[in-house]
A and B are shown apart, each in its own frame.
Chain A
Amino acid sequence: GAVVSQHPSRVICKSGTSVKIECRSLDFQATTMFWYRQFPKQSLMLMATSNEGSKATYEQGVEKDKFLINHASLTLSTLTVTSAHPEDSSFYICSANYVGGETQYFGPGTRLLVL
């Protein structure tokens, strides 16, 4: 149980385009989903917390107009990187927790490369 999927696993795009990453909880309902960014050899950096049906809460320094998050249902959250630039290239990971739970289960991550 507690499986989280992410799609795509890898994406290469041109500078200026937008990229959408999906995060799904496959076998449980998730009231809260989290989006992280991870630079090489570093820990995870929380970008935002999203709750189903409400606006995401962004961490300080994260541009909400650049990283659009939509939590449309209890099993799906999406992160859209708008007008991507090379500095947005990174590894993006989502996580989700059970309704009322505190343990986060992570997706496999998405490698984004912006050329």
Chain B
Amino acid sequence: AQTVTQSQPEMSVQEAETVTLSCTYDTSESNYYLFWYKQPPSRQMILVIRQEAYKQQNATENRFSVNFQKAAKSFSLKISDSQLGDTAMYFCALIAGGSEKLVFGKGTKLTVNP
């Protein structure tokens, strides 16, 4: 079975600063994908970034980057130059093996303060 753990229920950061959200996962599969989704107050789930397990290079999307530590089964999200619009719930998620099902963590509520 696959599991995803987000150990930080809530975090806050000042505007323009950098924040890192933690995520650890567990799977016995060698082929898997990891995702970070953002859910702002509108509750629309938005894909932030994805990482294929076979790729050693960490994924980056503008101000968002990940630190993928495969041996440690860690997949943290770094948000640089935080903006007020980054305030949201952030969910780490995993798809492993041939499964189509996303396994979600419990989420981290991030607040960006002006």
Contacts and interface: CB of A to CB of B under 8 A. Distances in A.
Interface of A: 32, 34, 38, 42-44, 46, 49, 91, 93, 95, 97, 102-106, 108-109
Interface string B55-71: 00000000000000000
Nearest to B43: A109
Nearest to B96: A102
Interface SS, A side: strand
20 contacts: A34-B101, A34-B102, A42-B107, A43-B105, A43-B106, A44-B102, A46-B102, A49-B100, A93-B43, A93-B45, A97-B100, A102-B100, A103-B33, A103-B47, A103-B50, A104-B102, A105-B47, A106-B44, A106-B46, A108-B43
Contacts of B30: none
A48 to B, nearest CB: 11
Contacts of A34: 100-102
Interface residues of B, number: 19
Interface of B: 33, 35, 37, 42-47, 50, 91, 95, 100-102, 104-107
